[in-house]
């Protein structure tokens, strides 16, 4: 659906919308949409009913020109106006009802106020209004990264200057410059990278980059990055140390496995020894001095055998508790 929206509600189908005799109830967030696009970012409308209103833009970014308007209620005559910043006068009494501040920066974020002489009922009265202005960063503080991370003599070294532009000002043109030990090595241009085709030991220096807008209003400098170019052959040492560090976890696993296996073997041997001792005590060997009831002679005495064979057969009497039929 195309048209104008107020607080997410569709209110008008044309591309232009006018409010006659605005009321405080008309305050809110407004958006527009065409048949071939998504809804726009919202803009805030504030309708005041006081005698004086200080108007300020909703979104203010570094490098913008800030215009503040001290408006009075329609139908009344106004005279001189005075402007304040954090309660300090920045534009004394004058006939201008606008305050222009060029090329604002983050320090411009503060509270502004205006006082105007308004004539009503044949008398002049002073009325005031104030508002807070927040200046947003146009782009972030730049940083430098290098590729590759480990640089050896003869490598191609690439430095990249990174920054993040506000999505609300994505069409702003930025320029980049590079410095080595504070000396410029690449002038401002649209290129955000700097290349050294064949790195040398003497390229081991401190590097910074600057980012600025095409109108030169905003410029920011990155933190210092130190580049180390190594001699040929040091890469092998570097790779070897990495390999050793990587192999340490595997080595520890092998050591742990060996220790566990050894422990199991020792426990197994202890169990075998205990079983051997148990059975050795349970079945005594010939010749041990054991009680007669538990020791059997392998060759019984001949006389004992004769007596056993000559003994009369044993009578087995019936149990006392047998019931006769």
Last residue of a domain, one of 196, 230, 264: 230
Whether residue 147 is found in the same domain as residue 226 = yes
Q: What is the tens place of the pLDDT at every residue in 245-289?
A: 444 444 445 556 667 777 888 888 888 888 877 777 655 545 444
- What are the φ and ψ backbone dihedral angles of 298, each rounded to 5 degrees? -70, -25
Reported as a pLDDT band with limits 50, 70 and 90, residue 301 is: very low
Whether residue 113 is found in the same domain as residue 147 = no
Domain count, the chain: 3
Choice among 82-91, 113-122, 157-166, 188-197 with the minimum mean pLDDT: 113-122
Domain that holds residue 205: 143-230
Last residue of a domain, one of 196, 213, 230: 230
Query: Exposed, middle or buried, 64 (CB in 10 Å: 0-12/13-18/19+)?
Result: buried
pTM of the predicted model over 0.85: no
- Percent of the chain scoring above 70 in pLDDT: 77
151-152 and 229-230: which strand pairing?
parallel
Q: Which residue has the higher pLDDT, 211 or 32?
A: 211
9-12 and 3-6: which strand pairing?
antiparallel
Last residue of a domain, one of 200, 230, 260: 230
What is the Cα 90 distance to its own chain's centre? 42
Say how far apart CA 105 and CA 261 lie, in whole Å. Answer: 70
Instruction: Return the structure tokens found at 27.
Output: 């305050």
- Asked whether residue 116 is assigned to any structural domain, the reply reads yes
Does 31 score more than 70 pLDDT? yes
Say how far apart CA 116 and CA 130 lie, in whole Å. Answer: 12
Choice among 53-57, 162-166, 274-278 with the minimum mean pLDDT: 274-278
Output the pLDDT for position 259: 72
Output the pLDDT for position 257: 65
Instruction: Return the structure tokens found at 25.
Output: 């109830």
DSSP state of 286: T
Does 290 score more than 70 pLDDT? no
Does 237 score more than 80 pLDDT? no
């Amino acid at each position: 659906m195309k048209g104008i929206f107020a607080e997410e509600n569709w209110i008008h189908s044309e591309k232009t919308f006018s409010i006659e005799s605005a009321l405080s109830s008309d305050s809110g967030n407004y958006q527009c949409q065409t048949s071939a696009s998504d809804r726009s970012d919202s803009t805030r409308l504030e309708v005041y009913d006081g005698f004086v209103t200080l108007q300020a833009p909703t979104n203010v970014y570094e490098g913008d020109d800030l215009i503040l308007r001290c408006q009075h209620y329609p139908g009344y005559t106004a005279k001189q106006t005075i402007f304040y910043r954090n309660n300090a006068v920045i534009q004394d009494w004058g006939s201008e009802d606008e305050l222009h501040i060029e090329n604002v920066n983050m320090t411009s974020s503060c509270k502004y106020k205006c006082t105007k002489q308004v004539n009503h009922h044949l008398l002049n009265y002073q009325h005031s209004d104030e508002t807070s202005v927040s200046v947003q960063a146009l782009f972030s503080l730049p940083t430098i990264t290098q590729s590759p991370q480990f640089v050896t003599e003869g490598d191609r070294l690439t430095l990249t200057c990174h920054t993040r532009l506000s999505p609300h000002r994505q069409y702003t043109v930025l320029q980049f410059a590079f410095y080595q030990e504070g000396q410029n090595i690449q002038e401002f241009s649209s290129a955000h990278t700097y290349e050294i085709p064949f790195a040398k030991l003497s390229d081991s220096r401190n590097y910074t980059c600057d980012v600025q807008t095409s109108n030169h209003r905003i410029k920011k400098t990155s933190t210092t990055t130190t580049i180390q170019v190594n001699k040929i052959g040091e890469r092998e040492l570097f790779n070897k140390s990495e390999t050793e560090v990587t192999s340490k976890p595997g080595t520890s696993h092998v050591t742990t496995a060996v220790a566990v296996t050894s422990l199991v073997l020792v426990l197994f041997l202890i169990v075998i020894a205990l079983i051997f001792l148990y059975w050795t005590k349970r079945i005594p060997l010939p010749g041990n001095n054991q009680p007669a009831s538990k020791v059997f002679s392998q060759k019984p005495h001949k006389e004992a055998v004769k007596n056993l064979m000559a003994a009369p057969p044993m009578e087995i009497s019936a149990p006392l508790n047998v019931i006769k039929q």
